[in-house]
């Protein structure tokens, strides 16, 4: 009987802990060939209501900014930096500074010059998500985008 009770309590605690995992940002990736030797990569964040992620341009001393890195490859070369739309800006008391951020959705873009026809581009992004009550720990997300 004690073993059964222990199993039930353990399952309840695991279920409660699992329910606490927050994932307010969903990422998706796409690429579009713009010519035989060029393409644009689209990295989209869909953000739950009440949450936001930070721009790539947050100044030192603030929250973790969104940072997108591409794994080097001989099949492509980056053309310029990752671009983003104009972010919102506000003073965040937690950081004692103005910060730039996105709500609901943001699409980051990266132009690439292709040195091979079809290729797969890999990378990793780091970002931080906050709402008006809390910030979640920064997350690293690996991504892969096929260009055909």
Q: Which tokens go with 25?
A: 């940002």
The mean of the pLDDT values for the chain is: 88
pLDDT tier for residue 20 given thresholds of 50, 70 and 90: low
Question: What is the DSSP annotation of 96-136?
Answer: TEEEEEEESEEEEEEEEEESSSSEEEEEEEEE-EE-SS-BP
SS3 content of the chain, % helix, strand, coil (to 5): 10, 50, 35
Domain ranges in the chain? Answer: 24-147
CA distances in angstroms from 41 to 67, 111, 119, 134, listed in the order given = 15, 6, 12, 31
pLDDT tier for residue 14 given thresholds of 50, 70 and 90: very low
pLDDT in tens, 62-113: 999 999 999 999 999 999 999 999 999 999 988 899 999 999 999 999 999 9
User: What distance in Å separates the CA atoms of residue 13 and residue 21, rounded to the nearest whole number?
Assistant: 13
Start-end of H helices in the chain: 2-19
Q: Can you give the pLDDT at residue 93?
A: 86
Q: Is the pLDDT of residue 3 over 60?
A: no
Q: Is 5 exposed, middle or buried (0-12, 13-18, 19+ CB in 10 A)?
A: exposed
Indicate the CATH number for domain 24-147.
Answer: 2.60.40.1250
pLDDT tier for residue 40 given thresholds of 50, 70 and 90: very high
Q: Can you give the pLDDT at residue 1?
A: 45
pTM: predicted TM-score of the whole model, two decimal places: 0.84
Q: Can you give the pLDDT at residue 79?
A: 97
């Amino acid at each position: 009987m004690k073993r059964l009770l222990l199993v039930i309590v353990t399952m309840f605690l695991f279920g409660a802990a699992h329910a606490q995992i927050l994932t307010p940002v969903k990422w998706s990736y796409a690429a579009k060939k713009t010519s035989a030797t060029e393409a644009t990569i689209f990295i989209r964040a869909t953000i739950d209501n009440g949450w936001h992620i930070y721009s790539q341009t947050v100044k030192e001393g603030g929250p973790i900014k969104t940072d997108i890195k591409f794994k080097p490859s001989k099949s492509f070369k980056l053309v310029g930096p990752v671009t983003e739309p104009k972010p919102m800006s506000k003073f965040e008391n937690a950081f004692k500074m103005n910060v730039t951020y996105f709500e609901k959705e943001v699409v980051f873009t990266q132009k690439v010059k292709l040195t091979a026809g079809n290729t797969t581009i890999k990378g990793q992004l780091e970002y931080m998500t906050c709402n008006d009550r809390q910030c979640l720990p920064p997350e690293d997300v690996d991504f892969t985008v096929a260009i055909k």
